[in-house]
A = this chain, B = another copy of it.
Amino acid sequence: MKTLILAGGKGTRLWPLSRELMPKQFIKIFNSSSLFQKTLERALVFSKPEEIFVVANREYKFRIIDDMKDLNIEIPKENVYLEPRARSTLPAIFWVLKTNSGKFAILPSDHFVEVNESYRNAFRAAEKLSENFLVTFGIKPTRPHTGYGYIKPGKGLGNGFIVDEFKEKPDLRKAEEFFKSGYLWNSGMFFFDSKIFIEEVKKLVPEIFDAFETHESIEEVYDKIPEMSVDYGILEKSNKVAVVPMDARWSDLGSFDSLYEISAKDEFGNAAIGEKPVSINSKNNLVVGQKLIATIGVEKLIIVDTEDALLVSRMGESEKVREIYKTLSARNDRRVVVHRTAFRPWGSYTVLEEGERYKIKRITIRPGKRLSLQRHYHRSEHWVVVKGTARVYYDGRETILRPGESTFIPAGVLHRLENPGKVDLEVIETQIGEYLEEDDIERIEDDYGRE
C-alpha cells in the first residue's frame, strides 16, 4: 500500500505560531514533533519508506528534508514532488498518481488523528473498496460541529457506504440534524487507486488531465491549470465515491479553538503548551508560549505567545486570526511571513537582537552543510563558535574553529561558513554596518542554486 502525504497547506490560521514560511504542518507543537512528522509516522503504519510520497510547495523542500532527517526516515528523493506554485489538492494528487500507479492512502499533513483499531480497520476496508471506488474517510461525529463538512452515507457496501451527498460547513441547526441522522465528518483523508482516479479526472476535469499530457515542464503545466480541490473537482461530481466510517479522535486543527479541543486539560479546563502558567481564578483557557505566563480571573481565552507576536482571542472566535493575518499582510508586515527564526537550506538563523548599526544572530548549520561563498558590501561579521566545529573560508585561506574560538570577516571580503562535523554547528554572529538587510549579499557559489 502506498501513501501520499499532502504537505502544501499554508495554514495561516494558527498565526502567530505558524507563518507563511513555516506553516502549521511543520511547527513543533506536540512534544517537539511536527504534524508532518506525525503524519510520516502514520504513513509507516501501512507503507514502507520507499512507498511513501510527499507533495508540497517548493518553498517547503528543506522543511520536509529536515523533518525526515530528525526521525531518521529516508524516503527516495524522487518520491518528493515539489510544486512550483500552490494549486490546491487536485493537481497535487494527480501529478503523483499519474506518474506512480497503485493504491494510495492520501493523508493531509496538518491534521490530528488518533491511530486506533478503527483507524487501522478503516484503511484495510478502504483498500478493498478502492478497487471499484474513490474512497473517503468519514469521522464519527462527537458533537454537532459547525466547523467541518459532512458526508451523508447512502447504500451499504460491506465496510463502507456509497456517498449520497457532501455537505458544506453547516449552521448549528443543520449540524444538529446531521449529527442525529448519522452523517460523518469529511476528514480530508482518501484512498484512491491511481487507475480509477486518473479516469475520473479525464472525464470530469479534462483541462487538468490535458495539461499534464502536453509533456511541458511542470512550471508550464502549473502555470496553465486552475487551482482546484479534489473535493470540488472530483468527489462532489463522481458517482464512484464511497465513504468508510472511522471512530477515532480527529481534528483538522483549523484554529486554536480546535487545538484546545484536542489538548489535555487540568481540573479547571486549562490547557497549556510550554511552561505551565501561573493561574488565579482562571478556567477553560488555552495558553501557548515559551515563557512565564500568568492569568488572573480570565475564562475561555486563547493566549498564544511567540518571540515577536502575541495573540489573545476569545475562545470561539479564533478563526478571525485570518483577519489579523490579512491586515498585517496588507501592511507588508514580515511577522506574517517568518518567525524570528528563518529557515535556510543549510539550517536556520534566529535574530537575537537588532540595534542601531548592529544585528545579532544565532546561526545553526546542519552537519555537512555550508552557506554560499559570499560577500557583503555594507557589513562586517564576527563569528563566535558556541557549539560544534566550523570550517571558515576567508579571503582564500581556510581555518577550523572550535567552541570558544572566533573570527572576523570585514566588509567586502569573500567568505564561506561550513559545518564539516557530525553534529549541529552553532555560531553567534554580530553584524556591524550601516545597512544590515538580507539583500546585501553577493553569492559567488552556492550548493542550493541561489547564485
- Interface check A45, CB cutoff 8 A: no
Most chain B CB inside 10 Å of its own CB: which residue of A307, A311, A382, A403: A382
Known: A301-B312, A428-B358. A321 touches B292 (CB 8 A): no
* Complex contact A296–B280 (CB within 8 A): no
Q: Mark A1-20, 1 if CB is under 8 A from B, else 0.
A: 00000000000000010000
Tell whether, in the assembled complex, residue A426 and residue B312 are in contact, meaning their CB atoms are under 8 Å apart. Answer: no
Bound Cα distance A168, B289 (Å): 40
Residues of chain B within 8 A (CB-CB) of A289 are 310
Q: Count residues on chain A whose CB falls below 8 Å from chain B CBs.
A: 56
Task: Give chain B residues whose Cβ lies under 8 Å from the Cβ of A430.
Answer: 384, 386, 406, 428
**What are the interface flags for A298-340 relative to B under an 8 Å C-beta threshold, 1 for contact and 0 otherwise?**
1001010101111111101110110110011000010100000
Name the B residues within 8 Å of A313 (CB-CB). 294-298
Known: A386-B358, A404-B380. A292 touches B320 (CB 8 A): no
A362: B residues at CB distance < 8 A:
353, 355, 360
Q: Is the CB of B403 within 8 A of A357?
A: yes
- In the assembled complex, which residues on chain B have CB atoms less than 8 Å from the CB atom of A317? 281, 296-297
Residues of B near A167 (CB, < 8 A) are none
Instruction: State whether A291 touches B309 (Cβ < 8 A).
Output: yes
Pull 30 A–B residue pairs with CB atoms less than 8 Å apart, ordered by A.
A16-B292, A278-B327, A280-B323, A291-B308, A292-B309, A292-B335, A295-B311, A296-B312, A296-B313, A296-B320, A297-B313, A297-B314, A297-B316, A298-B312, A298-B313, A301-B301, A303-B312, A305-B305, A352-B352, A355-B362, A355-B426, A357-B387, A358-B403, A360-B362, A380-B404, A382-B384, A386-B432, A403-B432, A404-B432, A428-B430
Nearest chain-B residue to A382 (Cβ)? B384
Asked if residues B382 and A294 are in contact (CB atoms below 8 Å), the reply is no
Asked whether, in the complex, the Cβ of A357 is within 8 Å of the Cβ of B386, the reply is yes
| Residues of B with C-beta under 8 A to A360 | 352, 360, 362, 428
- The residues of B that contact A298 with a CB separation of less than 8 Å are 301, 312-314
A294 to B303 alpha-carbon distance, docked (Å): 10
Q: CA A328 – CA B294 in complex, angstroms?
A: 10
A382 to B403, CA, bound (A): 12
Nearest-CB residue, chain B, relative to A291: B308
A205 located at the interface, meaning its Cβ lies under 8 Å from any Cβ of chain B in the complex: no
Shortest distance between the CB of A116 and any CB in chain B (Å): 34
A404 partner residues in chain B, CB cutoff 8 A: 380, 432
List CB contacts (< 8 Å) of A1-44 with chain B.
16
Interface membership of chain A positions 337-360, coded 1 if the CB is closer than 8 angstroms to chain B and 0 otherwise: 000000000000000110111101
CA A308 to CA B292, docked complex, whole Å: 6
Q: Complex: how many Å from CA A280 to CA B426?
A: 40
Bound-state CA distance A408–B352 (Å) is 21
Shortest A56–chain B CB gap in Å is 28
- Whether A291 touches B310, Cβ cut-off 8 Å, given contacts A296-B318, A305-B305, is yes
Please indicate the chain B residues that have their CB under 8 angstroms from the CB of A333 in the complex.
Answer: 292
Mark each residue of chain A from 428 to 444: 1 if its CB lies under 8 Å from any CB of chain B, else 0.
10101000000000000
Tell me, rounded to whole Å, the shortest Cβ–Cβ distance linking A32 to chain B: 16
Is A293 at the interface (CB under 8 A from chain B)?
yes
Residue contact A311 to B291, C-beta cutoff 8 Å: no
Contact pick for A293, options B310, B403, B408, CB 8 Å: B310
Q: Give the residues in chain B near A293, CB-CB below 8 Å.
A: 309-312
In the bound assembly, the distance between CA atoms of A362 and B354 in angstroms comes to 11
Report the separation of the CA atoms of residues A311 and B305 in the bound assembly, to the nearest whole angstrom.
11
CB distance from A40 to the nearest CB of B (A): 28
Chain A residues 386 to 408 lying within 8 A of chain B, measured CB to CB, are 386-387, 403-404, 406, 408
Chain B neighbourhood of A384, CB < 8 A: 382, 430, 432
A404 to chain B, nearest CB (A): 4
Other than the given A298-B314, A310-B310, 9 more pairs (CB < 8 A) read A291-B308, A295-B312, A297-B313, A298-B312, A312-B312, A352-B360, A355-B426, A380-B404, A403-B432
Q: How far is A292 from B292 in the complex, measured between Cα atoms in Å?
A: 18
**B residues less than 8 Å from A295 (CB atoms):** 311-313
Nearest-Cβ distance from residue A127 to partner chain B, whole angstroms: 43
